Amino acid sequence: MSVNKEIVSKYIEGFNENDHFKMLSCLNSNAEWIMPGVFHLVGIEALDEEMEDDAFAGHPAVQITRMTEEQNVVVAEGSVRVEWKKGGFLEAVFCDVFEMENAKIKRLTTYQVNLKADSKEQISRGRGKPRVVVKA
């Protein structure tokens, strides 16, 4: 496995273990996380706050089904399941595009498809309108 794939795997392990230190150690200091139409976060502090989403009970179970890499881009496909505090579960499939720089995640773009009928509410619950957050 390449160094870049190892970093992405470590990042996903951090989600599964609810280990913020592990996740943050994989990020470039000015990392970006983009979920088109939902949010665009810039900086480790902003990403850390999103990882600690108050709408969820516990931490997500993320499973990677395929990872591919070309040059400094790693694409990971998989599924995620996490319980909502208000009841029910977010169940989704995703494709994450990790742009890497010096063995760190520089930019993450998440394309997510929710598998339940209430998907529009699921994606925006606790988030409101799409937003841009920059924290240095």
Query: What percent of the chain is predicted at pLDDT more than 70?
Result: 85
The Cα–Cα gap between 76 and 100 comes to 13
SS3 of residue 99 by DSSP: strand
Domains of the chain: 3-134 (3.10.450.50)
**Mean pLDDT score, 65-89:** 93
pLDDT digits (tens, 9 = 90+) for 84-129: 888 888 899 999 999 999 999 999 999 999 887 554 444 544 444 4
Predicted TM-score (pTM) of this structure? 0.84
Please check whether residue 91 is in contact with residue 107, taking contact to mean a CB–CB distance below 8 angstroms: no
